[in-house]
Structure formats: structure tokens, C-alpha cells
A and B are shown apart, each in its own frame.
Chain A
Amino acid sequence: MTSDWIRLLLLVPDSVSSRIMAAENETIPTLLTGGGFVFLAAIMGGLFLINKNASDGAAALARGSTELTEGVRQEIKEVKADRDEVKKQCSRCEARLNTVLRQLAKRDAVTNDLLEVLDKVVAPVLPEEQADAMHASVRALHTVLDREGFNGEV
């Protein structure tokens, strides 16, 4: 084959070139077979590249989705912890409110007891002016107790 190439590249007389033309030469089928292989290899390589590109894209998407999911999970965890803390504070505030309401009810009960005793026991035996004055005193006492935060416990 090498000698063929040399003859092809040299100026040869017609008699010689006719001999060359008559000779069997495998250069052309070799080249064409190589071309066919290169064609198929390029197609297969291209498919590989397309697949690789798509796989890389899918992997990047999956990675991003995983990071996003993890981040959202963490956020949900933190929000749940905040919610639990607020719930605990709510419970404490509710208990305190109930205590205060109970204390107020007790204080009102003491005042009502005093007024009842005044009306039923003291008022019948006293003149009307003195009974009214004692009434006013008890109400003033209630106002003072209210202002001073008396909780009804004696």
C-alpha cells in the first residue's frame, strides 16, 4: 500500500499509471470502512454525550431537590419548636389568669358576706344614718381592698 501512495504522488508515465490502475488496491475500501466506523462511532458517542448531559442534569436536579427538602424539613422542625414554646407560654398565662379570677371571686365573696351581715344583723338594730354610713364604709373598704390588690385570703 505504501508503494501505491508513492506512485500516486509521483509523476508517472501513462504506461506506468495504466499498470497502477489495473492493480488491485485496497486503499479505497479501507478508507470507506474507516469512514463507516467513524460515522457509527460518532453517532454512538453523540448518544453517550446526550445521555451524560441528561444524567448530569437529572443528578443536579435531584441534588437540588434533596437540599430543598432538607431545608424545608429543618424549617418545619424549627416552626414546630416555636409553636410548642408558644403553647407552653399560653398554658402558663391561662393558669395565672384562672388564679387571678379565683382570687377576685373570693374577694367579692368576702365583701358580699360583710354586706349581708350588715344588712341582716347590724342594720335592724341601728339607726338608718348609721347603717348607711356602715354600708358606705364597707364599700369604701372594698374599694381600698380592690386598689391594694387584696386577694381574698385572710
Chain B
Amino acid sequence: MSPRPPRIAPLYNPIWLTILPRERRARGAYQLCVMLLLLTVGWSQVIKGPTALSSLNYIPTGQAEMLAWCCVWAGGSGVASALIPERIIHVGRWQIDATWWRLVIEFAAHAMLIFVWAAWLVALLRTTPFLEGLGLGTGAALWLGVAAVVRCCQIGWTVKRALADHPSPAGIISQGQARNDQ
């Protein structure tokens, strides 16, 4: 048995090692399961079409398919963003801060979801207008849309903190960071 070759030391690449605040919000059970809901419902509608009592029966088939594919893309991106770790990953000799990619994909998913929930809401309102009552679907589409907007703002704030609020070299927690965290 030949001796094992010496292990190549990982290439220290400080360009990719950035300081991003850790969030861990995408791993929340609610967010992850709503993404799974979108993914499963989207695939189901792509394969089987709208269910019998779905409001999507009252919009043209092409629009329903478009909405289903948007659900698949947004839900898949959301699940992916929950799976990407918030740390430096090693790809061969390279070290990449995956936090950036997680935030970008999660932001894209939520930005798309704002429109997806709005489209759901429009489809639902066509069968059940507001003044006829607020059903589960209408309420969910309305408030999950609000949640998507809030999440986009949160991610934007995180990126702003990482890019604009440079930490002071004078200490681990500088005065500026303390002020910005308030």
C-alpha cells in the first residue's frame, strides 16, 4: 500500500472571507415550511393542475400554470436558502463565504414571493372579494405577502450593515456598531 500523499493545505483567500452578520432566520420552522408548501403546491399544480375548489380554476389555464411555476421557483429558492450554511465552505482549495449566497438567494425568493402572493391574492379576490369575508387563503396570501416585504427589508438591512457599517479596528464591538444595533 503506497503512502498517502501529503494533504494540500487550504489556500488562504482573505478576499472571500467577509464579515457578515449571522441571521439564522431562514431556518425558522415557519419560513422553511411555507417554502416547502410553495414548492409542493407548485409542483402539484404543474403536474395535476388546480384542485377542484381552487380559485385558480377561475383564471385562464396559462396564468395558473405561470403562477404554479413561479411558486416552484420561489419555493425552491427559499428551501435552498435555508440549506445553504452561514459559514465559510471549502470547495477544493478555495474558501467561500456562503452567507452572501444564502442572503442573495433568500432575498430573490422573497422579492419574487411578494409578487406571487399578490397574484394569489388577486386570484382569490376574484372569487371571494374582501367584503364577502376573509377566508384562509385570502388571509394567508395577504399576510404572507406582508411577511415577504418585511423579510426583504431585513435582508437589505443586513447587507447594508455588512457593506456600509464597517467595524472599527479599535475593538470587537465599536460604538458605531452598538449604535446601529439599537
Contacts and interface: CB of A to CB of B under 8 A. Distances in A.
Interface of A: 7-12, 17, 20-21, 24-25, 27-29, 31-32, 34-36, 38-43, 45-47, 49-50, 52-54, 57-58, 61
Range for the number of chain B residues in contact with chain A: 35 or more
Q: Is the interface of A mostly helix, strand, loop or mixed?
A: helix
B111 A39 contact: yes
A46 B108 contact: yes
Interface string B53-64: 000001110110
A10 B129 contact: yes
A40 B19 CA distance: 25
B115 interface: yes
Contacts of A36: 70, 73, 112
Given A32-B119, A35-B116, A53-B100, A8 B14 contact: no
Contact of A31 (B100, B115, B127): B115
B54 to A, nearest CB: 13
Contacts of B129: 7-12, 17
Contacts of B159: 49
Contacts of A29: 62-63, 66
Contacts of B35: none
B163 A42 contact: no
Contact of A49 (B104, B118, B123): B104
Interface string B128-157: 011110000000000000000000000000
